[in-house]
Amino acid sequence: MTRMIQCISPVDGRVYAERPALPPDAAQAAVARAQAAQAGWAARPLDERIACVKSGVAVLNTMKERAVEELAWQMGRPTRYGGEFGGVNERTDYMSGIAAEALAPQVIEDSNRFRRLLAREPVGVVFIVAPWNYPYLTAINTIVPALIAGNSVVLKHASQTLLVGERLAEAFHQGGVPEDVFQNVVLDHQTTEALIGARSFGFVNFTGSVGGGQAIERAAAGTFTATALELGGKDPGLVCADADLAAAIDGLMDGAMYNAGQCCCGIERIYVHERHYDAFVEGAVAWVEKLTLGNPFDAETTLGPMANARFARTVREQVAEAVAAGAKPLIDPARFPADDGGAYLAPQVLVDVDHSLRVMREESFGPVVGIMKVRDEDEAIGLMNDSPYGLTASIWTADPERAERIGARLQTGTVFQNRCDYLDPALCWTGCKDTGRGAALSTLGYHSVTRPKSYHLKKVTQ
Ligand code: NAP
């Protein structure tokens, strides 16, 4: 029997979209078409591939209104935030701009006797398994460099954002990318893993949970398929004694609450120097109390429902456990009457927390943050590193040397000073520990979707 993949809308709990999962033989056939189409795509000049990709993204921009409405239905993001187009365009432009240089062969020697060079060639078919929380951005990070580098792409999007893959496929096809070169497929986990296990792909980019990443790594075991596993986070913020307090409150609380806290690099725990602690906590509470929880289609809503009632349940459980263990919740849920005990969840700020609590150790992925007082840099660094994750860390200080010095001691993929929750396409997006491994965006992003090939050409016979 055909299995249906469903998107249950967090807005009203109804089935918003459903599609049949591809049966295994149809999924294999899609991969075979991608494999067959790849050489022709790679043979087209780089400029042509870039033009098709850019024109696909331009088409996507024309779908903005529809995409924003669909995002609200699928994952609850308030329409006032206008989708993910700023980041999609910025990343596409940057990755297009550096492509020629990033993909150019490195000539080691070109003399009368030898031509030696280090080239990069496409890996073949790139498989992207994408999450729902930033469904366009996370997918575009790999789609753009993969296509530009001459690969075919097979995209399997999250069930929660079932329609996003369809929009991307429509846009890229209209932009001139051949249908077999970019395919959106609806797959269940079993078929996804079976395709990987059958060595169907040259590279797999998985963005999602730690458990999902482990399943993908297991599926790829023994196939030697290159995998990037971009997984969860529990990102810390640090407010130093010399920080601009108002900027720190605004930046870190936005990092904690934007997208209902459903950002891999959202701020989930904050350490504040004792000098600023009381004022920071007071400011953080005032900041959160200004949020309006509600229907994502209402113009005044700044905090939508979480993408799924089960995600909100996890956050509720973490908060309840913390409070039972002595943590103090500073936000009165009565201020957020839209909290329905389901996907609509009042935000929370917790103090009197420590690292014995799940809310300070496990990814919450919701609108909750714990705040702790610290005496000095050493204590802060110890706490920031006391985590199974390592995606980003945000340091608020007036002193760039301090930020770099602290950053050098942190187990993290990215160090921010006086900002957070942002991907710079010129820098490598990466993580360590349970956040997995991978290198997206930047010139290194092109290395992920290509493999090195060495040419050692001796022009003379003696
Ligand atoms: P998820 O449940 O792991 O799902 C991610 C994707 O993988 C979905 O397409 C999902 O399909 C698929 N999937 C999950 N388990 C699978 C399995 N065993 N076999 C095959 N496919 C599988 O994660 P999510 O809830 O969508 O995303 C939230 C997580 O992603 C958070 O932990 C967040 O921190 C992380 N994330 C990390 C980054 C980063 O850059 N490091 C960026 C964004 C998000 P279905 O939807 O059909 O289950």
pLDDT tens-place string over residues 36-52: 999 999 999 999 999 99
* pLDDT tens, position by position, 405-458: 999 999 999 999 999 999 999 999 999 999 999 999 999 999 999 999 999 999
* pLDDT tens, position by position, 126-185: 999 999 999 999 999 999 999 999 999 999 999 999 999 999 999 999 999 999 999 999
CA of 61 to the centre of ligand 1 (A): 25
Pick from 404, 370, 417: which is nearest to 239 by CA? 417
* pLDDT tens, position by position, 95-112: 999 999 999 999 999 999
CA of 139 to the centre of ligand 1 (A): 12
To the question of pTM greater than 0.95 for the whole model, the response is: yes
Q: Which atom of ligand 1 is least distant from the CA of 440?
A: 40
State yes or no: is 70 an active-site residue.
no
pLDDT, residue 429, reads 98
Query: 285: pLDDT confidence band, cut at 50, 70 and 90?
Result: very high
pLDDT, residue 420, reads 97
- From the candidates 7, 263, 264, 428, which is the catalytic residue? 264
* pLDDT tens, position by position, 291-312: 999 999 999 999 999 999 999 9
Residue among 207, 311, 365 whose CB has most ligand 1 atoms within 8 A, to mutate: 207
Q: Whose CA is nearest to atom 21 of ligand 1?
A: 189
On average, the pLDDT of the chain sits at 98
State yes or no: is 265 an active-site residue.
no
CA of 307 to the centre of ligand 1 (A): 13
* pLDDT tens, position by position, 61-102: 999 999 999 999 999 999 999 999 999 999 999 999 999 999
Q: Whose CA is nearest to atom 38 of ligand 1?
A: 264
pLDDT, residue 182, reads 98
CA of 281 to the centre of ligand 1 (A): 32
pLDDT, residue 2, reads 80
Residues at CB less than 6 angstroms from ligand 1: 129-133, 138, 156-160, 189, 192-193, 207-209, 212, 215, 230-233, 264, 363, 365, 391, 431, 435
pLDDT at 8 > cutoff 90: yes
Residue among 19, 77, 129, 391 whose CB has most ligand 1 atoms within 8 A, to mutate: 129
Query: In whole angstroms, what is the distance from residue 277 CA to residue 335 CA?
Result: 24
For the residues 316-320, what does the mean pLDDT come to? Answer: 98
For the residues 272-282, what does the mean pLDDT come to? Answer: 98
How much of the chain, in percent, has pLDDT values that exceed 70? 100
- From the candidates 7, 70, 84, 230, which is the catalytic residue? 230
Q: Which tokens sit at 409?
A: 């001691």
Tell me the domains of the chain and their CATH numbers: 4-231+435-458 (3.40.605.10), 235-428 (3.40.309.10)
For the residues 3-32, what does the mean pLDDT come to? Answer: 97
Q: Whose CA is nearest to atom 35 of ligand 1?
A: 208
Tell me the residue type at 358: R
CA of 433 to the centre of ligand 1 (A): 17
pLDDT, residue 462, reads 78
Q: Whose CA is nearest to atom 34 of ligand 1?
A: 232
Query: 186: pLDDT confidence band, cut at 50, 70 and 90?
Result: very high
pLDDT at 121 > cutoff 80: yes
Q: Whose CA is nearest to atom 28 of ligand 1?
A: 208
CA of 205 to the centre of ligand 1 (A): 11
Q: Which residue has the tokens 């997995």?
A: 436
For the residues 248-261, what does the mean pLDDT come to? Answer: 98
